[in-house]
Every structure is written in C-alpha cells, then in structure tokens.
Amino acid sequence: MSITRKWAAKKQRALEILVQLQRLYPDARCTLNYATPFQLLVATILSAQCTDARVNQVTPRPLCSLPRCDRPGPGRPTGARSPHSLHRVLPEQSQNIKGAATLLVTQFGGQIPKQMEQLVSLPGVARKTANVVLANAYGILEGVTVDTHVKRVTKRLGLTQHSDPERIERDLMRLLPQPDWEKFSIRVIYHGRAICQARKPKCEDCLLAPLCPSAYAALPQIAATPENGEVE
C-alpha cells in the first residue's frame, strides 16, 4: 500500500473513531468547574498535577477573581473556598499562578489573551492549557488538547506514533476536522478514564476495538482488515 493510500486509510479510520466517540459520549464537556476564563486558567494549571475531580473538590464554588489571585497563599490551592484541600499546592504551581496573574494585570489589562502566542507566554501555560482555555472559554480552536489520556489512547489507536505532545497534536490536527478538535480530546479523555485505562485497558468492553490496532493482540477474534488500513 502506498504512503498516500495508507494516510487516506488512517484518516478514514480517524473519522470513524470520531463518529464512535460522538455516539459514546454525546454530552461530553470540560469537567473542570469555572465561571470565567481566569478561573478556567487557574483550574487547568492545578489539574496538571492531579485529576479534574480533585481540583473540583477544592474549588466547589467559583474560584476567585483575578485581582485576588495574584497573591496565592502557601500550602493552599489559589482561591479555594472550601475546607477541602489538596493538602499541599506544589510551590511551582503556586508560583506559576502568581506569575500568570501578575502578567495578566501588568501586560494584558487583566484579561485572558485570546491568542495562543500570548497565552503560552504566561508561567505554567503550555499548549495543552492554552488549548483548553481558548476552546472552552472563547470557542477558539487553535489546536488539539493533548493530556495524558489523549497521549495514551491515540497512540494505542494508531493515530500517532509519537510521544511528544506537540507532535501528537500536529498528527491529530491533520487527521481531524478543526470544528471537532476540542470535543475529540474531551471524548478521548472520557474514554481513557472509563475504558482505555493506563494499567489495564478494557478492550473486551471497548466499542472502538474493531478500529484499534492495540486491541488485536488482546482480542484474537478481532483481525486487521484492509478497510481499517492496517494491512496492505
């Protein structure tokens, strides 16, 4: 099979995976609690070192506003208004939130930028965080959010061979329609939590198994076919 035909087959399979994920998780949405772009930024920075559910436990009510968040206290998640805590905010996270808030006030007029280049200039903000904020706060689709679930699941699905998040993102951007970039990521995250787990994926319960090269070894009854682009 030529490189062109292989790429066309992979793209077709990616679209089939996209459709199946839409059917499986029709109501999928960002699971972080937030009411403003800044609250989403802070929550996303915090979620880099723990689960979204854990972040939401310590921020059950809306996070603080920007003027209050530029001075995070030691040992407590910025803006948390709950007796719950993460026990300890990593110093790096605390400093990143403080630094980001300071730059937002001094350089961006207290507003969250709507440009990728400006967002990633903030401390603690890489493309993953920027994509989450741009897509969910502003509806701007600059790229595909690649977290640990997306990294793991898309590699198992054979949509990328890379481990670097930015290279994975580029692969997915080429394979998927732009309007679906963020929803695809969110649905893959749902699937990664429920089915395609890190230690023991539930291939026998996975509706994506017929489209997944990694499921072939786990489920001998599933064979690669020319239609899914895995054999010549």
- If phi over 0 gives left and psi between -120 and 50 gives alpha, with beta otherwise, what is residue 169? alpha
Q: Indicate the range of 10-24, 102-116, 209-223 predicted with least confidence.
A: 209-223
pTM of the entire structure?
0.82
> Are the C-beta atoms of residues 206 and 215 closer than 8 Å to each other?
yes
Chain centre distance of CA 228: 26
Question: Please, which pLDDT band fits residue 46 given cuts at 50, 70 and 90?
Answer: confident
Mention every residue, 6+ apart, whose C-beta is less than 8 A from residue 200. Answer: none
Matching CATH number, 37-138, of 1.10.3720.10, 1.10.340.30, 1.10.1060.10, 1.20.1050.10: 1.10.340.30
Tell me which CATH code domain 3-29+144-228 carries. 1.10.1670.10
Question: Which tokens in the block code for residue 68?
Answer: 């209050």
Q: Above pLDDT 90, what percent of the chain?
A: 64
State residue 71's pLDDT score. 41
Question: What amino acid is encoded at 36 in this protein?
Answer: T
Domain spans, the chain: 3-29+144-228, 37-138
Residue of 13, 80, 15, 5 whose CA lies nearest to 46: 80
Burial class (CB in 10 A: 0-12, 13-18, 19+), 191: buried
Q: Above pLDDT 70, what percent of the chain?
A: 78
Nearest 5 degrees, angle CA 10-CA 29-CA 49?
90
Q: In the 8-state DSSP scheme, what is residue 135?
A: I
Distance CA 123, CA 103 (A): 9
Residue 102 has pLDDT above 60, yes or no: yes
- For the stretch 157-193, pLDDT in tens is 999 999 999 999 999 999 999 999 999 999 999 999 9
Average pLDDT, the chain: 84
SS3 annotation, 34-72: CCCHHHHHHHHHHHCCCCHHHHHHHCCCCCCCHHHHCCC
Q: Give backbone dihedrals phi and psi of 145, rounded to 5 degrees, phi first.
A: -70, 125
Residue 3 has pLDDT above 90, yes or no: no
Distance CA 131, CA 140 (A): 8
